């Protein structure tokens, strides 16, 4: 997930390089919060965008909005896929990932994964309460839901968890085809989880877009924090976690 800004930071030495990387992390975190705040204020909870309603209706059979488009097995597949972005599965993924890093003696990476995913989840929960956007009512829901609609928790939290874990793992593993494959799988997984929320009629498309945006920038911010710690000469990071990866 290297960017031009990251490469630019490495042209500096000492404190200047540390400050550059730290500023990038702060900018990403601020941008992710700004996206949520901006969209939350722009969306009128009582009047969803016409685009939102149009997309949800397009995903249902004309004349019978209780039936989703596509073959019968697609609905079951979407229910299974959406569970991959639920609290139970994501918690298990974080626990397994942190455990793997701990037994591998990657202490700082484990701490960053735990801190990034937990803080991101709390931020999403707070945003839901602040925005207080009702769930879609233009089509019947195909699964049970209880919380507010904006942003999509499944979309945001799956992006936060899967992308943060993948991004931080790349800092302690070599750069090869496996890293590219990991990111491709994670991006595809986060995408289909978000699409499943719309297909099941439990989120407006703008909820999902906001969740994807927030989760992606949140993960990027924690990746930058990891990079900053790796180049900070006084950070309490083991030497083997400082080694640059190709």
Q: Which of 8, 11, 141, 154 is catalytic?
A: 154
Average of per-residue pLDDT across 119-126? 93
The residues near 115 (Cβ < 8 Å, ≥ 6 apart) are 222
- Contact between residue 164 and residue 218 where contact means Cβ atoms under 8 Å apart: yes
Nearest CA-CA partner of 194 in 180, 176, 172, 210? 210
Distance CA 101, CA 50 (A): 46
Compute the average pLDDT of residues 137-146: 93
What's the pTM value of the predicted model, to 2 decimals?
0.78
Any catalytic annotation for residue 203?
yes
> 65: which 2 tokens?
């909005």
- Out of 8, 203, 232, 234, the active site residue is 203
Q: Are 237 and 109 a contacting pair, CB within 8 Å?
A: no
Q: Collect all residues with Cβ–Cβ distance below 8 Å to 32 and sequence separation of at least 6.
A: 213, 214, 215, 216, 217, 218, 221
Mean pLDDT of 61-83: 95
CB–CB of 43/150 below 8 Å? yes
Clarify whether 11 is annotated catalytic. no
- Determine the pLDDT at residue 93: 96
């Amino acid at each position: 997930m290297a960017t031009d800004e990251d490469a630019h930071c490495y042209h500096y030495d000492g404190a200047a390089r540390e400050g550059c990387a730290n500023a990038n992390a702060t900018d990403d975190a601020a941008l992710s919060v700004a996206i949520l705040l901006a969209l939350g204020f722009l969306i009128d909870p009582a009047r969803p965008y016409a685009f939102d309603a149009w997309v949800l209706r397009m995903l249902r059979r004309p004349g019978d909005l209780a039936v989703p488009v596509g073959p019968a097995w697609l609905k079951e597949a979407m229910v299974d896929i959406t569970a991959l972005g639920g609290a139970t599965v994501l918690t298990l993924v974080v626990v397994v990932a942190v455990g793997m890093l701990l037994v591998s003696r990657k202490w700082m990476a484990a701490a960053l994964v735990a801190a990034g995913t937990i803080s991101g989840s709390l931020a999403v929960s707070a945003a839901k309460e602040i925005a207080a956007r009702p769930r879609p009512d233009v089509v019947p829901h195909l699964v049970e839901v209880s919380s507010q609609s904006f942003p999509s928790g499944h979309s945001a939290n799956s992006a936060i968890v899967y992308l943060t874990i993948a991004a931080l793992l790349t800092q302690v593993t070599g750069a090869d085809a496996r890293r590219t494959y990991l990111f491709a799988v994670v991006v595809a997984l986060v995408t289909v989880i978000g699409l499943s929320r719309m297909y099941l009629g439990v989120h407006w498309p703008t909820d999902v877009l906001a969740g994807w945006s927030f989760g992606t920038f949140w993960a990027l911010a924690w990746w930058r924090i990891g990079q900053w710690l790796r180049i900070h000469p006084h950070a309490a990071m083991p030497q083997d976690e400082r080694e640059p990866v190709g």
